[in-house]
Amino acid sequence: MDHRVEKVIEVVLSNLQQKVSIEELSLTVNLSPSRLRWLFKVETGISFARYLRMMRMREAKHLLETTFLSVKEIMLKVGMGDESHFVRNFEKAFGLAPAKYRDRFLRGKLKDAARQEPDQ
pLDDT digits (tens, 9 = 90+) for 8-30: 999 999 888 888 889 999 999 99
For residue 103, CA distances in Å to 7, 83, 92, 108, 110 come to 36, 18, 17, 9, 9
User: What is the model's pLDDT at position 113?
Assistant: 44
Predicted TM-score (pTM) of the model is: 0.83
| Residues 86-109 pLDDT 10s | 999 999 999 999 999 999 998 886
